[in-house]
Amino acid sequence: MTWRARSALFSIAAGVALCAAGFLLMLATPVTTAQADQPVEAAGDDSACLVCHTEDTPQQMTFADGSQISIAVDHAALLASVHGHSQPDGPLGCSSCHGEGIFPHDNPPAASIREYRVTQSNICIDCHEDQSGNLGDGVHYTALLMGNLRSATCVDCHGAHDVQGPERSAVDIAQTCGSCHQIVYDEFSQSVHGKALLAGDPNVPTCIDCHGVHGIQHPTTALFRNRSPQLCAGCHADEQLMAQYGITTNVFNSYLSDFHGTTVALFEQIAPDVASNKAVCYDCHGVHNIAPSDDNKSQVVRENLLATCQQCHPDATADFPDAWVGHFPPTFDSHPLLFVVDSFYTVLIPVVLSAFIFLVLTDIIRRVRRRISGSDKA
Amino acid sequence: MAESTRNTPPRAYRRFSPVQRFEHMVLLVSFTGLALTGLPQRYADQSWAQTLIALMGGIESIRIVHRILATILMAEAIFHGGVISYKLFVLGQRATMLPGIRDLRDAIHWVLFNLGLRREHPRLPRYNFGEKAEYLAVVWGTVIMIITGYMLWNPISTASILPGEVIPAARAAHSAEALLAVLSIVVWHMYNVHIRRFNRSMFTGKLSREAMEEEHAEELEAIERGETAPEHPPEVIARRKRLFWPYAIIMTTILVGGLILFITAEQTAITLTTLPRREAAFTTDIDPAIGRAEVGAALWQDLDCHSCHGLDAAGGDSPIGVSIVDRNLEFELFIRAVRRGPAEMPAYSTARASDQDIADLWAWFTSLGTIESASLPAVSGS
């Protein structure tokens, strides 16, 4: 059925309803006027729209490219959504987002259903300025602006008529992201974080805890990389949180005192936008696939460590991973040579300096005494 | 002590040769530069160090400067070894810098004198105990810094011979020894040659009589007695030279070769390129003619390509799986994409997808042609 033919059929069917709708619109108008000074127009009565946009209408709208969308609207879901009865001024009406519907509607408002969704999402920004403030920095919005219509827009994550508040479960969030990023989700759900998340642990990170929400940074940028150790440290340097899992919080400090960490921290301080090639947490531990450090799947368990080092140091040999001191303070048992060197200089530096200072002081004493006795003579 | 045995004693005495002064300048510049670029690395968590590093152009820049200066210092160490050998073995001079028991006695004597427990100042030789201590410290420090520096510069070669634990130990030693050297210079050297008396002899080559009297009384006495170093007959010197030069050339060649090996063995710690990624070797030299379209069609799902890129290779429901067929993709680019896995795509090694598989997939794409209608995502209504 062509659009034109369907449109004609539409007109006949709708014509019958129009009389009733017109009547209802008249009833609705005074309500709207009464609330005209409200910032959000609570359009009170959607009954005119609901004449056609019933919950179970088989009617489809066809776009120029042939893609179709059902015109059915689950009005109950709308009323139950954040835009429904929970609004202080009453539920938002259809026209709040879709504009004043003049019947019959124009031809399909976009070339494809996807284009329609993306365009329609711009309307969200009208009210949700705060949330969209850093949208422009985010990868999804940037991709949309560059013409990639597949990139996520508001309704892809939040839903449309059934939009719910941001208080969603961590699992729900991960699954929402996973609906596009399936590979990442699959990998994550097998990781130490993902498994715990799916098991209901409230402390482990879900996607947005590391990536952010509206202003999601591309994780391959220098900035993201240079700041990533602090991101991990946000939880892993938190004594209280880590105590629940028996994980040392020394990981961050020991990383910072290592060659890699020192370098990355300096990049972060001095030139955060310049890429450093020194390892950050996820280069060794993995990203979405992080396994417990004693798991045989872990990249940092002793059997796998050489291969992990070889990612950056391809010529590394079997003993090379021992150059990494680890995340625990070195002891005589764990690192005898390092311990001896540290102890040696801990003694040598004060001894040598005290000796020099003592010699200098005796010389100063003599000079002062000579000056006093000299002036006495004079 | 104001005795005047001569009528007109010279006001200053030659102390350092131009070569010695040149060596000192090299040491002064390299040591200061090494300290300036090195110590902030030891204290990288402190804001003063971060400011200093930023002023000098960032951590990677100062690491390069540090290595250049280290190379200069090592070259100077080789040169110094040559000069000392020449003086000792050819000219037959005495090793006046070598410390002995006498220096310990001088030091104790000097302290007792300073404290008023002995009446007379010790009569000190050409190089007194303080100078010998400093020289010894420079030699010891340089040796430690060169050995540990080699390990830090070349950690992979080091770990292939020695246990890996040597590297963090070398780092600790390099860092602590640096602090010891700088603090010693600040306390001992600064006090003795800049604060107590501004001693310009290292720059002018000459030391005042007054300073000679206090710091090198024994040497001054010998000079004034007209004593000179024993001269060796020219034929003896000539014979020694004939022995010395081949030895010097061989040693210098070995040491300079070692130095070049030192600085070129590996670039692990100073690679400035982006993160090197481990990448399995692959070939882009695949003949597309060997591809079989019908096998490729099956592989598309067997290799799980369709999960992201859609059943018809025209792009999946998600934004990550781009369309393959309407991109004007070239075969070589396709091979690279499969092997390397751009963005979120996993890399397919030869173990997961053989060269034949790639050719088969390509043949299938070709058979599909350009599918315009399928280039838009098939999003179902909701």
Determine the residue of chain A that is closest to B343 in CA distance.
A220
Point out which residues pair with A167 in neighbouring strands.
Answer: none
Same domain, B36 and B160: yes
**Confidence class for position A30, pLDDT limits 50, 70, 90:** very low
| CB within 8 Å: A323 and B377 | no
Would you say residue A64 has pLDDT above 90? no
- Answer yes or no: are the C-beta atoms of A161 and A78 closer than 8 Å: yes
Count other C-beta atoms under 10 Å from residue A86's C-beta: 12
Ramachandran category for residue B275: left, alpha or beta (phi over 0 → left; psi -120 to 50 → alpha): beta
Q: How far is B236 from chain A (nearest CA, A)?
A: 43
Q: How far is A1 from chain B (nearest CA, A)?
A: 18
pLDDT computed for residue B129 by the predictor: 94
Same domain, B183 and B244: yes
Would you say residue A101 has pLDDT above 70? no
Sort out which chain A residues have CB atoms less than 8 A from B116's CB and list them: 366, 369
Q: Which residue has the tokens 């369709």?
A: B306
Q: Assign residue B157 the CATH number of its domain.
A: 1.20.950.20
Q: In A114-126, which positions are buried (b, 16+ CB within 10 angstroms) versus exposed (e)?
A: bbbbbebbeebee
**Confidence class for position A122, pLDDT limits 50, 70, 90:** confident
Which residues numbered 43-62 in A keep a CB inside 8 Å of some CB on B?
60
pLDDT digits (tens, 9 = 90+) for A356-373: 999 999 999 999 988 888
* Integer angstrom CA distances of residue A64 from A105, A148, B91, B192: 15, 18, 99, 90
* Domain presence at residue B381: no
**A6, two tokens:** 């369907």
Helix orientation angle between B129-153 and B234-264, rounded to the nearest 10 degrees: 40
| CB within 8 Å: B166 and A337 | yes
* Integer angstrom CA distances of residue B113 from A356, A361, A370, A373, B110: 17, 13, 12, 15, 5
Would you say residue A172 has pLDDT above 60? yes
Sort out which chain A residues have CB atoms less than 8 A from B274's CB and list them: 275, 277
d(CA B303, CA B305): 6
Sort out which chain A residues have CB atoms less than 8 A from B381's CB and list them: 60, 68-70, 113
Residue partners of B13: CB distance under 8 A and separation at least 6: B206, B207, B209, B212, B220, B223
pLDDT computed for residue B318 by the predictor: 60
d(CA B319, CA A181): 8
In the predicted model, what is the mean pLDDT of chain A?
Answer: 81
| CB within 8 Å: A323 and B107 | no
Determine the residue of chain B that is closest to A368 in CA distance.
B114
Winning range, highest mean pLDDT, from A108-122, B64-78, B196-210 = B64-78
Top residue of A158, A183, A228, A349 to mutate, by most chain B CBs within 10 Å, is A183
| CB within 8 Å: B344 and A184 | yes
Of A180, A312, A362, the CB nearest to B320: A180
- Answer yes or no: are the C-beta atoms of B255 and B249 closer than 8 Å: no
Count the domains in chain B.
Answer: 2
Of B114, B168, B176, the CB nearest to A325: B168
Q: Does A244 touch chain B (CB under 8 A)?
A: no
Q: Which residue has the tokens 């099956």?
A: B298
% of chain A surpassing 90 pLDDT: 31
d(CA B253, CA B259): 10
Q: Which of A107-116, A247-256, B122-131, B246-255 has the lowest mean pLDDT?
A: A107-116
d(CA A51, CA B324): 43
Same domain, B175 and B26: yes
Radius of gyration of chain A (CA): 33
**Averaged pLDDT for residues B125-137:** 93
d(CA A215, CA A141): 9
Q: Assign residue B297 the CATH number of its domain.
A: 1.10.760.10
| CB within 8 Å: A262 and B41 | yes
**B143, two tokens:** 């040796």
Q: Does A183 touch chain B (CB under 8 A)?
A: yes
pLDDT computed for residue B319 by the predictor: 58
Helix orientation angle between A259-270 and B59-85, rounded to the nearest 10 degrees: 130
**B47, two tokens:** 């804001």
Determine the residue of chain A that is closest to B276 in CA distance.
A312
Q: Which residue has the tokens 């000192």?
A: B24
- Answer yes or no: are the C-beta atoms of A140 and A153 closer than 8 Å: yes
Of B155, B168, B373, the CB nearest to A338: B168
* Domain presence at residue B279: no
* Domain presence at residue B328: yes
Same domain, B190 and B223: yes
* Domain presence at residue B340: yes
pLDDT computed for residue B326 by the predictor: 67
pLDDT computed for residue B271 by the predictor: 60
**Averaged pLDDT for residues B126-150:** 94
SS3 A68: strand
Same domain, B202 and B307: no
pLDDT digits (tens, 9 = 90+) for B17-57: 999 999 999 999 999 999 999 999 999 999 999 999 999 99
Sort out which chain B residues have CB atoms less than 8 A from A261's CB and list them: none
Determine the residue of chain A that is closest to B373 in CA distance.
A65
- Answer yes or no: are the C-beta atoms of A32 and A14 closer than 8 Å: no
Which residues numbered 332-351 in A keep a CB inside 8 Å of some CB on B?
335-338, 340-342, 345, 348-349
Which residue, B270, B298, B328, sits at the end of a domain?
Answer: B270
* Domain presence at residue B4: no
Which residue segment(s) compose the domain that B312 sits in?
288-375
Sort out which chain B residues have CB atoms less than 8 A from A314's CB and list them: 276, 278
* Domain presence at residue B23: yes
**Averaged pLDDT for residues B96-103:** 92
Q: How far is B235 from chain A (nearest CA, A)?
A: 46
pLDDT computed for residue B269 by the predictor: 61
Same domain, B110 and B209: yes
**Confidence class for position B10, pLDDT limits 50, 70, 90:** confident
**Averaged pLDDT for residues A263-267:** 92
Same domain, B236 and B92: yes
Sort out which chain B residues have CB atoms less than 8 A from A274's CB and list them: 58
Same domain, B149 and B249: yes
Which residues numbered 88-147 in A keep a CB inside 8 Å of some CB on B?
112-114, 117, 143
pLDDT digits (tens, 9 = 90+) for B160-172: 999 999 999 999 9
pLDDT digits (tens, 9 = 90+) for B258-280: 999 998 888 766 565 445 444 55
pLDDT digits (tens, 9 = 90+) for A202-243: 899 999 999 988 888 888 788 899 999 999 999 999 999 999
pLDDT computed for residue A121 by the predictor: 84
Short-list A141, A355, A187, CA closest to B319: A141
* Domain presence at residue B278: no
**Averaged pLDDT for residues B305-317:** 77
Would you say residue B358 has pLDDT above 80? yes
Q: Does A355 touch chain B (CB under 8 A)?
A: no
**A212, two tokens:** 């952010």
* Domain presence at residue B275: no
Instruction: Kindly provide the ipTM of the predicted complex, given to two decimals.
Output: 0.75
Short-list B103, B44, B361, B257, CA closest to A259: B44
Would you say residue A344 has pLDDT above 90? yes
Same domain, B201 and B309: no
| CB within 8 Å: B172 and A338 | yes
Would you say residue A309 has pLDDT above 80? yes
Reduce the secondary structure of chain B to three states and give it as a string.
CCCCCCCCCCCEEECCCHHHHHHHHHHHHHHHHHHHHHHHHHCCCCHHHHHHHHHCCCHHHHHHHHHHHHHHHHHHHHHHHHHHHHHHHHCCCCCCCCCCHHHHHHHHHHHHHHCCCCCCCCCCCCCCHHHHHHHHHHHHHHHHHHHHHHHHHCHHHHHHHCCCCHHHHHHHHHHHHHHHHHHHHHHHHHHHHHHCCCCCHHHHCEEEHHHHHHHCHHHHHHHHCCCCCCCCCHHHHHHHHHHHHHHHHHHHHHHHHHHHHHHHCCCHHHCCCCCCCCCCCCCCCCCHHHCCHHHHHHHHHHCCCHHHHCCCCCCCCCCCCCCCCCCCCCHHHHHHHHHHCCCCCCCCCCCCCCHHHHHHHHHHHHHHCCCCHHHCCCCCCC
| CB within 8 Å: A68 and B381 | yes
**Averaged pLDDT for residues A45-69:** 82
Q: What angle (nearest 5°) sits at the alpha carbon of residue A176, between those of residues A173 and A180?
A: 140
Question: What is the DSSP pairing of strand B12-14 with strand A68-70?
Answer: unpaired
Would you say residue B203 has pLDDT above 60? yes
Q: Which of A40-54, A90-104, A323-337, B282-296 has the lowest mean pLDDT?
A: A40-54
Q: Does A275 touch chain B (CB under 8 A)?
A: yes
Short-list B361, B377, B117, B69, CA closest to A150: B377
Whole-prediction pTM: 0.75
Of B169, B275, B344, the CB nearest to A183: B344
**B87, two tokens:** 């003086």
Would you say residue A17 has pLDDT above 60? no
